[in-house]
Structure 1
């Protein structure tokens, strides 16, 4: 009896971990968009989700970062169980840690948000703002690499979907990293974030079915 139940239990644990990857994207994106559409002074065409951590309701986005990071870490563990490669899950795990760090280290208020903040970038960058930026940079790079690393272990169609998702996310990140504050760059980054989370959700669901 033990030898027949152990594989089933292992498979159940793997599917439970991968289910976290399915949930992570909707949790992060929906929480961010609802805040972006309802919080006074926030403009989706000018402000990235990181700024939602500021102000009296900032704890909502901070919690969003931490919860999404923990779900991503669980998804990385599930991916490690489901696929033979190690680098993809490791890179995905680093991205999960970076999300938690992004919640712990808040971005500096800027460009009119929260209300009362002067327009434009902050006059000086705080230590926690610097760590937020560094955490994001490391996490974004690892997520792009994870798309390629995990995709290399999937069937050709899904492999290309992973690579294209990673490339689109990289383009979106490059737009805001260039320093551009145009609506096209900001909305492009929001779109890239949705693409990346959709990739994680669909890939996790695919591995669950396997």
Structure 2
């Protein structure tokens, strides 16, 4: 009788382990973490993809409504000046934060291999730099905003220096990420993405240099450089997000 009771108790315990709460955690830890991270990673990559569209959509609207703004003479950064300048400043910060979130999603998506750590880290530097650039403003000049001196500022304020330094640090980090991930794409046989990344890394600095030369259309050149580089990050984020969902 005791032997039958022990066997019955064993069967009941096995049933509990099979169907009860104690079996909920029997999934392998790595698989469980991957399943939990998948939706989160997809959302983070989507945030990174929205960085460039948000930045340029708001900038284009402000270009059209801000009195005195001329894209040939004024960089997008000067939209942070004047009465409505707070809008573009906020967009700098928001775009940087979105890129920073995207860098976390990119780290989750690039599982091992070349650039899986340094690439997302460079994107994070870019995001932080953009956010910092939004917290400081350039000096007014070239008659914008209305009432500003007609020429370029004779000296650079601390705010303008920090703004410029943060933006160019962000831009250089993004260019470095282009070349770093181009090597990864080359090793994985993705020739299209390799060529696209190299072209972006080469052309964007050339456009910045062209916009910095005297008499150039500074806003057009630098805007094109930003559209090229920031757009690369958005497309890369979307591509990595699509890879996660198809895996």
Shorter-normalised TM-score: what interval?
A: over 0.9
Task: Give the match for residue 242 of structure 2.
Answer: 209
Give the number of the structure whose alpha-carbon radius of gyration is greater. 2
Corresponding position of 2:231: 198
1:186 matched to 2:226 = no
CA–CA distance in 2 between the matches of 1:152 and 1:88?
11
Size of the aligned set, in residue pairs, is 208
State the TM-score, normalizing by the size of structure 1. Answer: 0.93
Q: TM-score scaled by structure 2?
A: 0.80
Hey, what's the Cα distance between the residues in 2 that align with 1:98 and 1:11?
A: 28
2:174 corresponds, among 143, 146, 152, to 143
Once residues 151 and 104 of structure 2 are traced to their aligned partners in structure 1, the CA distance between those partners, rounded to angstroms, is 40
Pairwise CA RMSD:
1.5
- 1:58 aligns to what? 85
Look up the SS of the partner of 1:153 in the other structure: helix
Alpha-carbon deviations, 1:165-200, whole Å to 9, x = none? 12121111112334x3422x4312211111112211
Paired position in structure 1 for 2:11:
none
Q: Does structure 2 conserve the Cα–Cα contact (< 8 Å) formed by 1:66 and 1:103? A: yes
Cα displacement (A) at 1:157: 1.1
Match of 2:124 in 1: 93
Query: Is 1:174 aligned to 2:209, yes or no?
Result: yes
Deviations 1:141-172 (A, max 9, x none): 11110111123223221111111112121111
Contact 2:126 2:174 in 1 (8 A): yes
Looking at structure 1, the residues matched to 97 and 71 of structure 2 have their Cα atoms a distance apart, in angstroms, of 25
- Equivalent-residue separation in structure 1 for 2:41 and 2:183 (angstroms): 20
Unpaired segments ≥5 residues, structure 2: 1-23
Name structure 1 gaps, 5 residues minimum: none
* Residue 155 of structure 2: aligned partner: 124
